[in-house]
Amino acid sequence: MIKRIFSFLLILLVFLGMWKGWQTAQTVAHVRSYQPLVEEALRKENSTLDSDLVLAVIYTETKGQGQDVMQASESLTGQVDSLATPQESIEHGVKTLNSYYLHGQELGVDEWTSVQAYNFGKAYIDYVAKNGQKTSLELAQTYSRDVVAPSLGNMSGETYAYWTPISIFHGHELYRNGGNYFYANQVRLNLDLIRFFERFG
């Protein structure tokens, strides 16, 4: 009896794994469909950013759903989802990310600092430049707690539960109004995911 239950659970896990893999492959394919728009936007900015990195940002932000696929409208208009098309979102998102990357190069920080700044804002690049010139989860967490959250009203360090494959091993909490200090790590993971399915999908 126990052996049958174990076999059933094993088969169920395999089935769920296959279903999740298929679902992820479909999502990656959908995000990959924005590659022509991404490459066009990169050309407009004369940017050397990797198009796959931009796709990983799209995957992290929205998984390619909705019109504002790069969640770029708030930095442009101050309002969420105010951009009308994915093309507008990608053009502004790429422009913002590229400007952060160029600023990061000027200050000698690593590329992932600029990626994290896409979530925190440009000032994070200056912060990292003064604190070792390389972002880390610990540095991003400190910035989220001490700079971003208080600037938006969270003076007490209030947190809320946040579950992802990365956060589960690092406290699974974010500071309310403090942005996402796991952001660069999540983009890095999604970049690997996108490249995996491109190679083996």
Domain with 151 in it: what CATH number?
Answer: 1.10.530.10
61-105 tens-digit pLDDT:
999 999 999 999 877 766 666 788 999 999 999 999 999 999 999
Quick one: tokens of 125?
Answer: 């690049």
Quick one: tokens of 137?
Answer: 């989860």
- Residues 150-155: what's their mean pLDDT? 96
Instruction: Answer yes or no: are the C-beta atoms of 179 and 120 closer than 8 Å.
Output: yes
State the pLDDT confidence band at 158, using cuts at 50, 70 and 90: very high
Instruction: Answer yes or no: are the C-beta atoms of 83 and 46 closer than 8 Å.
Output: no
- Can you give the residue range of the structural domain that contains 92? 2-200
Supply the DSSP string of 92-126, one letter for each residue.
Answer: HHHHHHHHHHHHHHHHT--HHHHHHHHHH-THHHH
Report how many domains make up the chain.
Answer: 1
Nearest-CA neighbor of 122 among 145, 148, 146, 142?
148
- Residues 30-38: what's their mean pLDDT? 97
44-67 tens-digit pLDDT:
999 999 999 999 999 999 999 999
What are the backbone dihedrals phi and psi of residue 174, each rounded to the nearest 5 degrees, phi first? Answer: -125, 155
Nearest-CA neighbor of 111 among 31, 47, 164?
47
Per the document, the length of the chain is: 201
